[in-house]
Structure 1
Amino acid sequence: MLNILLLLAGFAALIFGADKLVDAASALAKKLGVPNIVIGLTIVAFGTSAPELVVNVFAAANDNTDMVMGNVIGSNLFNVLAILGLCATIYPLTVKRNTTWLEIPLSFLAAVVVLILASDLLLDGAATNVITRSEGLVLLLFFAIFLVYNVVIGLGGNADDEETETKDYTYLKSVLFIVLGLAGLVIGGRLIVTGAVNIAAAFGLSERIIGLTIVSIGTSLPELATSIVAVRKRNVDIAIGNVVGSNIFNIFFILGVSTVVAPVPVNPASFTDIYMNIGTSLLLFIFIFTGRGRQLSRGEGIVFLLLYVAYLVLLISQE
């Protein structure tokens, strides 16, 4: 019970910290004259991915490497199957051309890259499968390219389409909230990793399963909240763009940083999750190009939700 309370307290601190950090950093950037579109594409995007990043850095530093991979892949699966599935059942999601032709294929490419980096036994005849620090640096280079692309596209497009609301904080208040937000992230991340590892040990679950389920769902709550609010306001492109962008962030940036902190051995069981991630990314691409033009329908959303439930049942049956 104590570990469950630690986990819940960790999620609360993590989400509070991410929210305050985004608000304060956005307000400070606005006062310093940073364009609104750049704030949305960088600070806000980093903020929604901060929970996964902090948890993974702690997990990598503590040598809980199964949780590192589980959190990244689990978050990506939850983002597409659960969040997009739920959002599409609320209201069909229409996708912009840039998202269709560039970001969704890039998300699929990221999923394939993980498979290639993890397949040392197959490709190199190595003794173990491991994503090394040098491969983590390659992932970060991919991320740098994606970030530059986003900023260039944003500055060259219509900024009104990507309007980002910012708080009107003073400089002092912004700095204080940034410090408070970072403290919330650090404390929350530490509590989550400690609680999750202890729960896994108490219930006889693997760190991989805990990372794929409880931890990944908890750290994806900012994306869930952002997407549902966007769909309810009929800002449907923000909903799908938020999820696809988060998936790219998770692999290129968060997995990249995690493996630079500590090389990540790949559990043979994790290949099921990696293949599932590839299949999910491919299915999203297929759904966008079938039926109505560049749209994720309610029926396709239901299919995503059913697939996620089936995947959870498969995970439980493997334990």
Structure 2
Amino acid sequence: MIYAIFAVSAVITVIAAVRLSTYADVIGERTSLGGMMAGTILLAGATSLPEVTTSLTAVVVDNPDIAVSNVFGSNLFNMFILAGVDIVYRRKKMLSTADRSQLKTGGLGLVMALWMLTAILFPSGITFLGAGIEVYILVLLYSIGMYWISKTSGMPDEGAELTESQLQAISLRRAKWGFAAAALVIFVTGSALSITGDLIAQATGISSSFVGTFLIAGATSLPELATVIVAVQLANLNMAVGNILGSNVFNMLILFVIDIAYRGGAAAAVIHPVTAVSAGAVILMNAAVLAGIWYVQRRDTGRKSYVFPSLITVLLYIGASYAVFTFSG
């Protein structure tokens, strides 16, 4: 029964998250939020809402392991999505389309992940308003990084934009109500994912860190998979890359929300040490993707040599899965 509820919640979350992104795009285009910055933030929040609700619910049920590992697991799965889709659609050479702003976004995500790995390995023990000082610095890094990106190259896109005909087919009123309804659905199903995930961990003996990193994170990252595939099929390859890199940066901010909600001090200081493995894997996969973009944009690669960076990224994901499962017991 627990598994059935988890599976149904995952399916509903994916469907609702895809609709949420659609409505967010319409609202951003048709209101004062239509500016690049506001539209991007709205879309980023929409695509990351499943991660937010599952992590917050995990805190409520006093399982910070699931809350934190879900964030790193989602970023791991997102990188796996990017690499996997790039291999499947290798003829399109998706990574070669990434512009400089995408590389800067990926670099920001790398710096934020490095900082949080440091916080996990060497917690300061300093808190402010119930949250660790590390997450305040994380927000500062995000703010400085996004300001720099917006000033030097414009804000990166977070998801596949709708065509003009699609925009015209959805009224602003419908978009607002649809956004609210989809957000409510995700709040309920995302909460169900965390609760059932916690029960699955207890029933099977599998650690909460593994459940959060791969089971729950994989479910909450499926909307990104759908968005990337749609973007590739629409030949908007640059946006497919930006969707993943931008979402990963925004996901890191959820760690701040987790710390504020968790009343037991800094969450990073009380989680299972194996979460550091997940954080390290995020850094390695992020670096592999950035190196892959640099590589394919500077060399005339054939089809076989082109997929080499993405293949390394997939292997890193498999290795991280094995390591977290092995050391999380």
> Which of the five TM-score ranges fits, normalised by the shorter chain?
0.7 to 0.9
Instruction: Indicate whether 1:268 and 2:273 are aligned.
Output: yes
Change (3 A) 1:226 1:19: closer
Q: Distance in 2 between matches of 1:135 and 1:281?
A: 21
Q: Distance in 2 between matches of 1:33 and 1:49?
A: 22
**Which one is further off, 209-218 or 132-141?**
132-141
Change (3 A) 1:249 1:24: same
Q: Distance in 2 between matches of 1:79 and 1:278?
A: 13
Instruction: Indicate whether 1:304 and 2:302 are aligned.
Output: no
Whichever residue aligns with residue 221 of structure 1, its letter is L
Change (3 A) 1:150 1:18: farther
Q: Distance in 1 between matches of 2:250 and 2:155?
A: 22
**Which one is further off, 37-46 or 225-234?**
37-46
SS of the equivalent of 1:266 reads coil
Query: How big is each residue's C-alpha offset from its partner over 1:287-306, in whole Å with a ceiling of 9 and x where there is no partner?
Result: 23335428993222222222
Q: Distance in 2 between matches of 1:4 and 1:156?
A: 40
Q: TM-score, normalised by structure 2?
A: 0.82
Q: Distance in 2 between matches of 1:167 and 1:16?
A: 21
Residue 73 of structure 1 aligns with which residue? 72
The answer on whether the counterparts of 2:99 and 2:238 sit within 8 Å (CA) in structure 1 is: yes
Whichever residue aligns with residue 191 of structure 1, its letter is A
SS of the equivalent of 2:298 reads coil
Instruction: Indicate whether 1:45 and 2:44 are aligned.
Output: yes
**Which one is further off, 263-272 or 193-202?**
263-272
Deviation, structure 1 residue 39: 6.1
Change (3 A) 1:105 1:170: closer
Residue 256 of structure 1 aligns with which residue? 256
**Which one is further off, 31-40 or 213-222?**
31-40
The answer on whether the counterparts of 2:231 and 2:239 sit within 8 Å (CA) in structure 1 is: yes
Higher relative contact order, chain-length normalized (CA < 8 Å, sep 6+): 1
Residue 324 of structure 2 aligns with which residue? 315
**Which one is further off, 241-250 or 264-273?**
264-273
The answer on whether the counterparts of 2:289 and 2:309 sit within 8 Å (CA) in structure 1 is: no
Q: Distance in 1 between matches of 2:140 and 2:161?
A: 28
Q: How does 1:130-149 map to 2 (within 5 A)?
A: 132-149=131-148
Query: How big is each residue's C-alpha offset from its partner over 1:72-96, in whole Å with a ceiling of 9 and x where there is no partner?
Result: 111111111x212112211222121
Q: Distance in 1 between matches of 2:52 and 2:110?
A: 20
Q: Which runs of 5+ in 1 are unaligned?
A: none
Q: Distance in 2 between matches of 1:190 and 1:33?
A: 31
SS of the equivalent of 1:268 reads coil
Whichever residue aligns with residue 98 of structure 1, its letter is S
Query: How big is each residue's C-alpha offset from its partner over 1:170-225, in whole Å with a ceiling of 9 and x where there is no partner?
Result: 34423321331121011111110111011111111111000111111111111111
Deviation, structure 1 residue 235: 2.0
Residue 115 of structure 1 aligns with which residue? 117
Residue 229 of structure 1 aligns with which residue? 230
Query: How big is each residue's C-alpha offset from its partner over 1:32-90, in whole Å with a ceiling of 9 and x where there is no partner?
Result: 2443645652222221111111111111222211011211111111111x212112211
The answer on whether the counterparts of 1:23 and 1:167 sit within 8 Å (CA) in structure 2 is: no
Q: TM-score, normalised by structure 1?
A: 0.84
Q: Distance in 1 between matches of 2:271 and 2:325?
A: 20
Change (3 A) 1:15 1:147: farther
Change (3 A) 1:308 1:163: closer
CA-based RMSD: 2.9
SS of the equivalent of 1:290 reads helix
Residue 212 of structure 1 aligns with which residue? 213
Residue 102 of structure 2 aligns with which residue? 99
Q: Distance in 1 between matches of 2:106 and 2:142?
A: 15
Q: How does 1:183-194 map to 2 (within 5 A)?
A: 183-194=184-195
Deviation, structure 1 residue 285: 2.6
Q: Distance in 2 between matches of 1:156 and 1:104?
A: 13
Deviation, structure 1 residue 278: 1.9
